[in-house]
Amino acid sequence: MNALLNWDIPFDRMERLDLSGMEVQAVEKEGVRAWRLLFTQRPRDRAKAGPAVQGARPLPMEATEGLYRAEGLPPLALGEGRVRFGGLTLSLWGLPHLEALPLLRLLSDGVPYPLLALRFPLGAAHYYGLGERTGGLARRGGRFWNFTMDQPPRPGRDPLYLASPLLVRLEGDEALGFLLDESHPSLFDLGHAHPAEGRVAVASPHLDFYVLAGSLLEVVRGLTLLTGRPAMPPLWALGYHQCRYSYADSQAVREVVEAFKAHDLPLEAVWLDIHHMEGYKVFTLSPHRFPDFRALSEELAGEGVRLVPIVDPGVKVEEGYRVFEEGKRRGVFLLDDRDELLVGGVWPRRAVWPDFSREGPRAFWAEEVRRFAEENGFAGIWNDMNEPAVLELGGAESPDKALPLTARQGEKSHLEARNLYALGMAEATYQGLAALGRRPFILTRSGFPGIQRYAFVWTGDNESRHEDMALSVPMLLSLGLSGVPFAGADVGGFGQDATPELLLRWTWLGALYPFFRNHSALGTRRQEPYAFGEPWTSRMREALRFRYRLLPYLYSLAREAHEEGLPLWRPLFAYWPGEMAAFREDEFLLGEGLLAAPLLHQGEGVREVYLPPGTWWDFWAGCRVAGPALEQALGPLPLYLKEGAAIPLTEPTYPTRTARWPRLGFRVALGPAIRGRVYEDEGEGFAPGAWSELKGAFDGKRLVLAFEDRSGHPREGVWAEVLGVAPPVKGQGVLYREGRLLLDLGPGEAFAEWA
């Protein structure tokens, strides 16, 4: 283990620090307001900005006798060695130089306190966030490191690939958001060392901390806007993806594409794992396995199928290999503490790592990405091993598969810059892809707050087990609460052999993942949706087609994430914080209107579903349930619509072309006020799109619906569909068939009346 992570931070040997050195600022970004507390021990850090928060501007504030006020923010009080804000009391602590690990002493410029900490009473609050973690959503009682590490999500493991020093505290219906904007390794201890106390420690000479207040979703939205809005993905990113370690040659890729076609299964992209390269050299293609690459990608493009290659950061050390030679000449690679190239072992054996913390190396990488994608027709890039992970150093295994923390990244040490490695790599990759004039699509394993500006995240090497499928629910919810709305777990499981039952369940759940990709490891049983033959293939097709029906809704939620920073998946307690049962972690809301209760356990045919207060409509059967209630639901994917919700759906067509749906069908759940909306655009590129809106009302007898179409494109039909109602006695634009009421919204309005 890395000495740093294995070190029990000696909280009891810390000294309480006087807060006179603490700088308080009120800041604003895109309408979000927060207090910023900045403690620095080196004058140069006073000008510090970021790494996650960029472009926040100071707000005018008043400070009298330690009381700070700024418009739109609850006041903050600083005094008696404490900071008080919205019911929270923080104190500041420092670990004296001599008490710290030699490594920290070495790398912290001899400041008096190379490790700083905040402490606060946990109170009766719930704690959420901290990104990708195992063990569920609730963080209380645990301790969590922020140190990017190539560690698969297994029970009890921490940290994992992505660092996220971002926490949400929820008490009643009031939330506080905390963002520790420091890339140095940090620890959030939420009642582990002491049951009543929260401790945030960072191995850094400065501590930069943001706090904001609001409802849970306001705070999440605020944290996301502070760290940057999620990029708007192209439509195809939300379709179905097929991956394997590895589809190792042209033949294998063609077979997959043909099988999807033959079985009438939708497919957006085939992913190329490390075997596409020549000798594991990034930005190369094996001439033996892919002799006709351009022809292959053009042929697939004709079928609406894209290719996404893996690009790892480790660059092979080899004379005559352009990326290595050119990179070396331009000084882009990480250096060791003696200023020599840092060489380590990863797939290509001897490799070096670009220093993405600097502008020059990012520009170099962006250029490689642009060329590689352009020449070969790649639609996106998949970044793996970007913690960065190293398998061997100096003939031995490196602790935690990490590079030495003393390695140099320009002015910074790897200790400081490590957690930002994937963020810098994604930024560079984004620039490279953006140069092609399309919306960049990147998938990353590692990250830091802000990663959502550039990339989707997947949760790494899970296994083909029901437990791993179930774990993906709180993991994705937590990523969403931590500002990363676009995420997915490997559907079917990466390691171990999938069974058809597991794959089917996971494919239904995956149909709701913000990112939907089936992936499996070298040597495991094949698990494409057709791999198990009938009747499985047909059942998988149903799940995949459901995903495609849902695309207008998913795409609209993606737009909402982009515009407002709200996650696609939301825990029930975001809306019902006063309900105990809303804290369960095996259900979630997709947007605001659709509640999902996936079947997550082996052999389970029926499950219990908690429905919060209000009226709910079974999405499939159309029956009405009055909440709060515990329902027994049957598979394959229990879903409920909230009263008044109107969810835009379409007919499943693939390959996807544009996010303009000539045929739209809103699934409507009756309620006094009905609201739905759909966002449409080209699904690609940068031309503006439009929100169209459905509004209506139901008073128990009369249902009126109006559709305002702002899309500007021709429609073949816009319908609203209501399940579980009796035939109406009167109406306009209505059709009734087998318990389903259809209202034709083509003319703009329709109504139905019952006696």
Instruction: Pull the structure tokens for residue 655.
Output: 């390959």
Instruction: Pull the structure tokens for residue 322.
Output: 């352009």
Q: Are 325 and 319 in contact (CB under 8 A)?
A: yes
Instruction: Pull the structure tokens for residue 515.
Output: 């990112």
The distance of closest approach from Cβ of residue 312 to ligand MIG in the complex, given in angstroms and rounded to an integer, is 7
722 to 741: interface string for ligand MIG, x by CB under 6 A: --------------------
The distance of closest approach from Cβ of residue 494 to ligand MIG in the complex, given in angstroms and rounded to an integer, is 6
Instruction: Pull the structure tokens for residue 442.
Output: 């990147």
Site for ligand MIG in 271-290 (CB under 6 A): 273-274
The distance of closest approach from Cβ of residue 460 to ligand MIG in the complex, given in angstroms and rounded to an integer, is 5
Instruction: Pull the structure tokens for residue 168.
Output: 């949400």
Instruction: Select the residue interacting with ligand MIG from 131, 159, 214, 460 (CB under 6 A).
Output: 460
The number of helices, as runs of H, and strands, as runs of E, in the chain is: 12, 46
Closest listed residue to residue 365, CA positions, set 349, 354, 375, 357 = 354
Which residue number places its CB atom closest to ligand MIG?
245
Please confirm whether the linkage preceding 636 is cis (ω < 30° from 0): yes
Q: Which is nearer to ligand MIG, 131 or 638 (CB)?
A: 131
Q: Which of 132, 461, 618, 680 is catalytic?
A: 461
Q: What angle do CA 82, 88, 90 make, to 5 degrees?
A: 30
Q: Are 481 and 571 in contact (CB under 8 A)?
A: yes
Q: Which of 158, 189, 312, 384 is catalytic?
A: 384
Q: Which is nearer to ligand MIG, 416 or 461 (CB)?
A: 461
Q: Which of 208, 387, 490, 587 is catalytic?
A: 387
Determine how many CB atoms are found less than 10 A away from the CB of residue 368: 21
Q: Which is nearer to ligand MIG, 273 or 618 (CB)?
A: 273
Does 447 interact with ligand MIG (rule: CB under 6 A)?
A: no
Check if 490 is active-site. no
The distance of closest approach from Cβ of residue 374 to ligand MIG in the complex, given in angstroms and rounded to an integer, is 23
Q: Which is nearer to ligand MIG, 128 or 458 (CB)?
A: 458
Give the burial class of 229: count Cβ atoms within 10 A of its Cβ; 0-12 exposed, 13-18 middle, 19 or more buried: middle
Does 310 interact with ligand MIG (rule: CB under 6 A)?
A: yes
Mention every residue, 6+ apart, whose C-beta is less than 8 A from residue 6: none
The distance of closest approach from Cβ of residue 458 to ligand MIG in the complex, given in angstroms and rounded to an integer, is 8
Site for ligand MIG in 676-695 (CB under 6 A): none
477 to 496: interface string for ligand MIG, x by CB under 6 A: -----------------x--
The distance of closest approach from Cβ of residue 405 to ligand MIG in the complex, given in angstroms and rounded to an integer, is 22
Instruction: Pull the structure tokens for residue 330.
Output: 């331009």
Does 26 interact with ligand MIG (rule: CB under 6 A)?
A: no
Instruction: Pull the structure tokens for residue 392.
Output: 């061997």
Q: Are 710 and 679 in contact (CB under 8 A)?
A: no
Closest listed residue to residue 161, CA positions, set 522, 454, 444 = 444
Mention every residue, 6+ apart, whose C-beta is less than 8 A from residue 551: 235, 238, 239, 650, 656, 659, 661
Instruction: Pull the structure tokens for residue 320.
Output: 């005559």
The distance of closest approach from Cβ of residue 568 to ligand MIG in the complex, given in angstroms and rounded to an integer, is 22
Closest listed residue to residue 504, CA positions, set 542, 468, 476 = 542
Q: Are 270 and 246 in contact (CB under 8 A)?
A: no
Distance CA 95, CA 172 (A): 34
The distance of closest approach from Cβ of residue 248 to ligand MIG in the complex, given in angstroms and rounded to an integer, is 12
Q: Are 663 and 678 in contact (CB under 8 A)?
A: no
Closest listed residue to residue 321, CA positions, set 361, 283, 374, 356 = 283
The distance of closest approach from Cβ of residue 531 to ligand MIG in the complex, given in angstroms and rounded to an integer, is 17
Mention every residue, 6+ apart, whose C-beta is less than 8 A from residue 329: none
Q: First-to-last CA distance in the chain?
A: 72
Q: Are 431 and 406 in contact (CB under 8 A)?
A: no
Check if 45 is active-site. no
Instruction: Select the residue interacting with ligand MIG from 132, 208, 461, 528 (CB under 6 A).
Output: 461
CA 4, distance to chain mean position in Å, is 27
Site for ligand MIG in 377-406 (CB under 6 A): 384
Q: Which is nearer to ligand MIG, 220 or 390 (CB)?
A: 390
Distance CA 313, CA 281 (A): 10
Q: Which is nearer to ligand MIG, 414 or 445 (CB)?
A: 445
Q: Which is nearer to ligand MIG, 245 or 617 (CB)?
A: 245
Closest listed residue to residue 174, CA positions, set 129, 137, 214 = 214
Distance CA 496, CA 671 (A): 46
Q: Which is nearer to ligand MIG, 199 or 519 (CB)?
A: 519
Q: Which is nearer to ligand MIG, 144 or 161 (CB)?
A: 161
Check if 608 is active-site. no
Give the burial class of 712: count Cβ atoms within 10 A of its Cβ; 0-12 exposed, 13-18 middle, 19 or more buried: exposed
Q: Which is nearer to ligand MIG, 182 or 490 (CB)?
A: 490
Distance CA 724, CA 720 (A): 13
Q: Are 641 and 616 in contact (CB under 8 A)?
A: yes
Q: Which is nearer to ligand MIG, 401 or 466 (CB)?
A: 401
Q: Which is nearer to ligand MIG, 211 or 311 (CB)?
A: 311
Instruction: Select the residue interacting with ligand MIG from 120, 245, 378, 421 (CB under 6 A).
Output: 245
Site for ligand MIG in 496-535 (CB under 6 A): 519
Binding residues for ligand MIG, rule CB under 6 A, total 10
616 to 635: interface string for ligand MIG, x by CB under 6 A: --------------------
Distance CA 334, CA 342 (A): 6
Residues that bind ligand MIG in the complex, under the rule CB under 6 A: 245, 273-274, 310, 384, 445, 460-461, 494, 519
**Positions marked catalytic:** 384, 387, 461
